[in-house]
């Protein structure tokens, strides 16, 4: 897991076209979110199947684009509601990203036989 400093995190609710690169995501941040992509913040996007995310971050002299594809499971991603963007902190982002791992750990086979030995 990448460690982010305590920057504001903006996630795009609902699906995003994962074919977008840095420039496409910058335009989305500027036009759809009405935010400056060069601000000290983290912008997070998820695809329709919720198994891929992209994170866009400006570090002062260039953009970072992080990409994660899940082989199993899905991210628990908010749907588009009244807001197209949600503001989170870094800890909440970590919970959102790690949620798929936690879900896999919690899925266990049902116990049919119980014995005390």
Q: What's the rounded mean pLDDT across residues 102-117?
A: 53
Total domain count, the chain = 1
Q: Are 86 and 11 in contact (CB under 8 A)?
A: yes
Q: Which domain holds residue 77?
A: 9-106
The Cα–Cα gap between 28 and 21 comes to: 11
Backbone angles phi, psi at 58, to 5 degrees: -95, 130
Question: Residue 117: inside a domain, yes or no?
Answer: no
From residue 95, give the alpha-carbon distance in Å to each of 10, 39, 45, 109: 14, 23, 15, 24
Q: What pLDDT was estimated at residue 82?
A: 57
Residue-wise pLDDT for 88-99, tens only, equals 888 888 888 886
Contacts of 90 (CB under 8 A, 6+ apart): 4, 5, 6, 7, 9, 42
The Cα–Cα gap between 25 and 92 comes to: 21
Residue-wise pLDDT for 58-90, tens only, equals 999 999 999 999 888 888 888 876 567 888 888
Q: Are 87 and 66 in contact (CB under 8 A)?
A: no
Residue-wise pLDDT for 33-46, tens only, equals 899 999 999 999 99
Question: Residue 85: inside a domain, yes or no?
Answer: yes
Q: What's the rounded mean pLDDT across residues 8-30?
A: 93
Q: What pLDDT was estimated at residue 51?
A: 92
């Amino acid at each position: 897991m990448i460690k982010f400093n305590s920057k504001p995190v903006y996630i795009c609710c609902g699906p995003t076209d994962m074919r977008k690169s840095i420039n496409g995501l910058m335009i989305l941040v500027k036009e759809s979110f009405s935010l400056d992509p060069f601000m000290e913040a983290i912008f997070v996007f998820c695809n329709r199947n919720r198994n891929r995310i992209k994170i866009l971050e400006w570090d002062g002299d260039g953009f970072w684009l992080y990409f994660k594809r899940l082989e199993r499971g899905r991210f628990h991603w908010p749907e588009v509601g009244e807001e197209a963007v949600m503001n989170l902190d870094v800890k909440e982002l970590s919970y959102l990203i790690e949620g798929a791992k936690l879900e896999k750990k919690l899925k266990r086979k049902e116990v049919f036989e119980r014995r005390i030995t």
